[in-house]
Structure 1
Amino acid sequence: MRIRPRGAVTSALLAGTLAFAAAASGGEAHHVGSYTWTRDDPAFGGFSGFDISEDGARFTAISDRSWFVTGEIRRENGRIAAIDPSPIVPLKNAKGIQPKGAAGDSEGLAISDDGRIFVSYEGYARVAEFETPERAIPLPRHPDFSGLEINASLEALAIDNEGRLYTLPEQSGDLATPFPVWRMDAEGWHDFATIPRRGTFLAVGADIGPDGMFYLLERGFTGFGFRSRVRRFELTETGFGAEETLFESPVWRHDNLEGIGVWRDGAGQIVLTMISDDNFFAIQRTELVEYVVPESLAPNPERP
């Protein structure tokens, strides 16, 4: 979902919210660092989908205007120190044309082990496959996709080690309605399971980590700024279990985090790398934010 903060934000208000944001977030993960990424390119910004390599050194990102970029992440003392990106290129449809407006609202990103790229779209709810960004291969649509809200549909996309896709909408309906999750295998999309909704947070990104767990990035918008939360779940053949909240940030601790990639560092710890969507709005920023989950020191062979 594209969010445009309304009204003027005064220096006093910004200072106050940033001071409040200095408080530590709750949960099990701890904040390692944030890196503000800038680039002089009119296509830069609006990043909503994110994928990261197994070693955390390379990334792929898409914007909600059908732009695609890859790059290298350089770290010093465990913190992001620089980004070395490739050129930003258009993400084109099946006709070889970059879609515009609602048709080009690309939000979720997942990349298979063999390098195939999958993108979920929020305007016209669908998922497409790409061998390269130059041309989409449309995938079948679940009947439920047509009933989703145009600006609150398929925000999150993930892929497991068997190549099965998982997607869910940003909005579930009311606060008491869980998020529906659909899974696609060789036979097409199926109703897979639901994820309980907790409070006013909305689903904006997902990934399946090297531990086989399902990680859900959620965003809360208060009118004064953004809050972020990551929950993770045990992923089984029948649904989700063992829910944990890894962190929940206060307002303005981070910008509008919408994309997430999960990997394991050299010490065996699970690392969450997230990217923010600046909505092409001057007061916002594109940042990469990292959290470490210290208790995840070794893979669990019982998890799929």
Structure 2
Amino acid sequence: MRTRFVIAIAALAALLALDLGAQPASDAQLVSAYRWHGTGENFGGFSGLEVSEDGTDFIAITDRGYIAKGSFEREGGVISGLKTVRLSPLKSPKGEPFGRFRSDSEGLASHMDGPIFVSFEAKHRVMRFGDVKAKGRTLKKHPDFKGLQNNSSLEALAIDRDGTLYTIPERTGLEGSPFPVYRLRAGSQTWEKPFTIPRFAPYLPVGADIGPDGKFYLLERHLSGILGFTNRIRRFDITPDGFRNEVELLRTPVGLHDNLEGLAVWRDDNDSIRLTMVSDDNFKFFQATEFVEYVVLTPSPDQAVPAN
């Protein structure tokens, strides 16, 4: 017992000594933490999330190539249950479930009423699905994708109002180097690498979304050993010169939530920005699948910054 206590204190001290980046310039308040208890061997490992504009419906993907579609039940704006949840396999270009080494789906981007885009990190690629039942089509790859790290590549994926995609790998390969941002403009078949995002240890990107305010939201996480997970959300303006005006909206205490990996950003009935997240339980009995939701307390300008 004493040894475990010493290890825990040492791990906490190491975390506090790291450069965690800029201190929060605004804040967010926890409003929902709902445990999702599913059944079957394919339930779990949720790594990507999208939520409808009114916060009612959601789609989520697992890191074993499955997609879930359902709706939230809410009481006083707080998630109280789920309904009409369907879990089914994503389909390959041949119309079949993906094999073991091609099913590691991580990032999710969709307008909910249109095509679904999914990023994968075992065979590094982004695919397009017409809907949850449609066969997938692999998009042309950026030359960098081939050299990305296994199990640490295209974790974060987001789509803007015009259909432009943004994806960010979990690791850069060089300790301390910024994270590259890959962009596929709407209607184009060629990925660009126009700019980067600053990196502050120990957090790594795991999810992203573009909010109704036109801003880019990045979800990052860190596993602090036996102490559990801590997460951070940063917000950026999307400008012709890159992601600018960084604000840290949220940094969770170690162990408060499980392994949050999927992020969806929407505006509620009070005109407040909501940050809805889902956790990846890694298919472990000692971890949990949960929906976590925060309200951003500081207002965000209604006028979106134009993307270029």
TM-score by length of 1: 0.89
2:256 aligned to 248, 253, 257, which one?
Answer: 253
Tell me, yes or no, if the aligned pair for 1:102 and 1:122 is still in contact at 8 Å.
no
What secondary structure is seen at the aligned counterpart in 2 of 1:88? strand
Tell me, yes or no, if the aligned pair for 1:49 and 1:109 is still in contact at 8 Å.
yes
Q: Which residue of 2 is the match for residue 168 of structure 1?
A: 168
Q: Where do 1:95-134 residues align within 5 Å?
A: 95-112=94-111, 114-133=113-132, 134=134
Q: Which residue of 1 is the match for residue 51 of structure 2?
A: 52
Q: Alpha carbons of 1:290 and 1:114: their partners in 2 closer, same or farther (altered >3 Å)? A: closer
Q: CA deviation at 1:34?
A: 0.4
Indicate the larger mover: 226-235 or 171-180: 171-180
Q: Which residue of 1 is the match for residue 295 of structure 2?
A: 292
Q: Alpha carbons of 1:89 and 1:302: their partners in 2 closer, same or farther (altered >3 Å)? A: closer
Tell me, yes or no, if the aligned pair for 1:260 and 1:273 is still in contact at 8 Å.
yes
Q: Deviations over 1:85-118 (max 9, x none)?
A: 4321110111112113231000000013651000
Question: Which residue identity lines up with residue 97 of structure 2 in the other structure?
Answer: Q
1:218 aligned to 214, 220, 223, which one?
Answer: 220
1:190 aligned to 172, 192, 195, which one?
Answer: 192
Task: Work out the CA distance in 2 between the residues paired with 1:91 and 1:181.
Answer: 26
Consecutive unaligned residues of structure 1, counting only runs of 5 or more, are: 1-8, 18-24
Question: Which residue identity lines up with residue 196 of structure 1 in the other structure?
Answer: P
Q: Which residue of 2 is the match for residue 149 of structure 1?
A: 149
Tell me, yes or no, if the aligned pair for 2:45 and 2:280 is still in contact at 8 Å.
yes
Q: CA deviation at 1:29?
A: 1.0
Consecutive unaligned residues of structure 2, counting only runs of 5 or more, are: 13-22
TM-score by length of 2: 0.88
Question: Which residue identity lines up with residue 73 of structure 2 in the other structure?
Answer: R
Task: Work out the CA distance in 2 between the residues paired with 1:101 and 1:66.
Answer: 9
What secondary structure is seen at the aligned counterpart in 2 of 1:49? strand
Task: Work out the CA distance in 1 between the residues paired with 2:58 and 2:183.
Answer: 24
Q: Which residue of 2 is the match for residue 65 of structure 1?
A: 64
Q: Deviations over 1:22-79 (max 9, x none)?
A: xxx9651111120000012221100001000001110000000000111111111221
Indicate the larger mover: 292-301 or 207-216: 292-301
2:202 aligned to 200, 203, 206, which one?
Answer: 200
Tell me, yes or no, if the aligned pair for 2:180 and 2:196 is still in contact at 8 Å.
yes
Q: CA deviation at 1:290?
A: 0.4
Q: Deviations over 1:172-231 (max 9, x none)?
A: 223420000100022321112100001110100000000001000001011111111100
What secondary structure is seen at the aligned counterpart in 1 of 2:102? helix
Tell me, yes or no, if the aligned pair for 1:269 and 1:298 is still in contact at 8 Å.
no
What secondary structure is seen at the aligned counterpart in 2 of 1:86? strand
Task: Work out the CA distance in 1 between the residues paired with 2:113 and 2:290.
Answer: 28
Q: Alpha carbons of 1:302 and 1:164: their partners in 2 closer, same or farther (altered >3 Å)? A: closer
Tell me, yes or no, if the aligned pair for 1:256 and 1:278 is still in contact at 8 Å.
yes
Question: Which residue identity lines up with residue 201 of structure 2 in the other structure?
Answer: G
What secondary structure is seen at the aligned counterpart in 1 of 2:225? coil
What secondary structure is seen at the aligned counterpart in 2 of 1:145? helix
Identity of matched residues, %: 48
Q: Is 1:77 equivalent to 2:76 in the alignment?
A: yes
Tell me, yes or no, if the aligned pair for 2:215 and 2:305 is still in contact at 8 Å.
no
Q: Alpha carbons of 1:138 and 1:263: their partners in 2 closer, same or farther (altered >3 Å)? A: same
Task: Work out the CA distance in 2 between the residues paired with 1:101 and 1:298.
Answer: 44
Q: Deviations over 1:257-288 (max 9, x none)?
A: 00000000011100000000000001100000
Q: Which residue of 2 is the match for residue 5 of structure 1?
A: none
Q: Deviations over 1:231-277 (max 9, x none)?
A: 01011133100001111111110000000000000111000000000
TM-align CA RMSD: 1.9
Q: Which residue of 2 is the match for residue 86 of structure 1?
A: 85
1:242 aligned to 237, 242, 245, which one?
Answer: 245
Indicate the larger mover: 94-103 or 63-72: 94-103
Q: Where do 1:256-267 residues align within 5 Å?
A: 256-267=259-270
Question: Which residue identity lines up with residue 277 of structure 1 in the other structure?
Answer: D
